[in-house]
Amino acid sequence: MSCSIGTTCGSVVSSSLNEDENSGIDLLSLADLPPDTLAEAEAMIDGDVESLILYREPEGGVRAWLNVCPHAGRRLDYAPGKFLRTKRGELMCAVHGATFELPEGLCVAGPCRGECLRAVTVRVEGERVRLGGV
């Protein structure tokens, strides 16, 4: 998928994320995801365990993407749950330096410029982040 600056990167990885069998899977506590931070969680998606990147916006909303760089299909973290950020706060792929604007997930620099991280639907329920929509 590709998108351009000013557009929203938002296609969801799998339509089955909204089905009852996956809805409500607990990912982590909001206490483990302070505003403007990134965390990693794992979830079963379409029968496979996937690594997810969770980002808590400064205003408190939570976004999630597959932990996969669109450039080469590698994980973005340099160690499990450890992410690089630029001075401007963008997420940077530890392998080839692709840089992703937060909170949209749009690659703004590097080998996959214009492409987007693959979004995963999450919701905040009480003090927990859960997989799936409302």
Distance CA 134, CA 55 (A): 18
Kindly report the pTM of this predicted structure. 0.84
pLDDT tens per residue across span 74-110: 999 999 999 999 999 999 999 999 999 999 999 999 9
**Which domains can be identified in the chain, with CATH numbers?**
15-131 (2.102.10.10)
Long-range contacts, stretch 94-103, CB < 8 angstroms, 24+ apart? 95/69, 96/69, 96/71, 96/72, 98/69, 98/70, 98/71, 100/76, 102/55, 102/57, 102/63, 103/55, 103/57, 103/61, 103/63
